[in-house]
Amino acid sequence: MEKGMAHIISGLGDLEERIRDLREIILANLVMLSEIPAPTFSEAARMEFLVNRFTELQLLNCSTDEVGNGLGIIPGETGERNILIVGHMDTVFDAKVDHTITVEPHRIIGPGVGDNGLGLAVIATLPLVLQHLNIKPKSNIILMGSAQSLGMGNIRGLRFFLDHTDLPINAGICVEGVKLGRISFSSIGMMRCGISYSVPEQYDWTRFGAVGAIVTINDAINRILEIPLPKRPKTNIVLGSISGGTGFNTIATQATLKFEIRSESGRMVKNIGQKTEYIAHEVASHSGADVDFRIYAQRRPGGIPFSHPLARTTREIMKALDIPQRITPSTSELSAFIDKKIPAVTLGLTNGENLNQMNETIDIEPIFKGVAQLLGLILAIDGGHCDESK
């Protein structure tokens, strides 16, 4: 089914219109997947639903693995190449949260619909989309819902699969629900850390003063904010959350700070990480509190260059569909592909707002353009138009 890029580009508009025929199926999969709680490390129920969908559509090797990934393969006509399409299954929402999804005429509202209910729904529906459009790739299309991706999951699911698969992966596409126009083909360096202070049982309040763990964590934050950050390479520290204490009229005996260090330079991430650890221990030595400094996740910078055929072709497809491009580095599943030197990109499928909030919202209409974009890229990779030698 080898076709020139010009032919693929010219047919994108028609693909977008024909994908609308499957609107109700895509949205039904979206609602059913999103209403299954899937906090990191607890994605089994969502994985089972996804694998059942793969089985119903008669994919090959519908299965899970030791870490809970959900997998299925659309066999190619020749099977000489393998394209891995992946979307993370986990969400930031606890299982106790009400996962009821509201469908309105033009939008869908509910926890996790954009991150990453829609991405998973499109992956679950993709075999039917290809069948409906009579698209028969030469390459094997490996569909995967990845487990343990967010936060302390540290992309474990995809890393495990890439470490253990016998199939050579020629290219990867990471699918995210939002935002349409997003294109990532490189990763920044990142270190995800936590500092916890706790007051020991024999804490000497007379010697150290009745300040408690919250004041101690505040001292650490002030010191971290004093760390000089360069403009080049671009570097920042994101303070993500702080927790501690139990209520009024009680001195806090425990407090925790979670933060990320991000930089275009892996060395800079490492250096700042060491500085924050030194600060954590120095503040503890002054206050008498016990300290626990942890590194939860790390990413190395890298990726394919702007001029790589995969990146260039993705931009051409988006331009042909009148999708405004927003090129940003990523710290998501893309990093696992980068570590294995597999060319890959991350794409968004629609527009949305209130990401990672209870009223997370996505727009329905742009979804069809987002799926057409994904299909165009699959066809381009399948036809060899994204190979570096071209």
pTM: 0.89
CATH topology for 5-187+301-382 is Aminopeptidase (3.40.630)
Domain segments of the chain as ranges: 5-187+301-382, 189-299
Using alpha carbons, list the distances in angstroms from residue 133 to 9, 18, 21, 55, 136. 16, 7, 10, 20, 9
Q: According to the model, what pLDDT value does residue 289 have? A: 86
In the predicted model, residues of the chain with pLDDT beneath 70 are 1-3, 201-211, 390
Note the pLDDT tens digit of each residue in 56-102: 999 999 999 999 999 999 999 999 999 999 999 999 999 999 999 99
Give yes or no on whether 5-187+301-382 and 189-299 have one common fold.
no
**96 exposed, middle or buried (CB, 10 Å; 0-12, 13-18, 19+)?**
exposed
The two structure tokens encoding residue 337: 């592909």
Q: Which CATH class is domain 189-299?
A: alpha beta
